[in-house]
A = this chain, B = another copy of it.
Amino acid sequence: MKIGELANETGLSTKTIRYYEDIGILPEPGRQANGYRSYNPSIIDRVGFIKDAQASGLSLVEIQIILELRDEGESTCEHTVRLLESHLEAVEHQIIDLHRTKAQLQKMIIKAKALDPADCQNPNRCQTISATHL
């Protein structure tokens, strides 16, 4: 399986595949006589996992840690679970932060709408903006 075929199968670009190899998240494949990369089809699953994990918001570095542990045959589950749990925590924090952001934006918008647009003509003190200093 050549790199282009793998790209077609997985939806990654050949550039991205080589990049993943560079950063070590994909192993160096074998080579054909002409130097072309030659992939074992099992690599498709690995790419699939990478995409899934990435969709869950894991960074390539985090994914790499999981995959390295797996490659070394360590008691991966525990490590993986710990990593997933810490990431879950981070995601929960992000959600809380975004809710705070959302509330602030809504406040800004409500205040801005309540103002008479004509007041905005004073360039030194736009009401919308002044009003946002809560």
Chain A 70-87, CB-CB to B under 8 Å as 1, else 0, gives: 111111111011001101
Residue in B closest to A70 when the chains form the complex, CB atoms = B126
B56 touches A84 (CB 8 A): no
A133 touches B87 (CB 8 A): no
Contacts of A112 in B (CB 8 A): 77, 80-81, 84
Describe A's contact surface by its main secondary structure: helix
- Chain A residues within CB distance 8 Å of chain B: 45, 48-49, 52-53, 55-57, 66, 70-78, 80-81, 84-85, 87-88, 91-92, 94-95, 98-99, 101-102, 104-106, 108-109, 112-113, 115, 117, 119-123, 126-129, 132-134
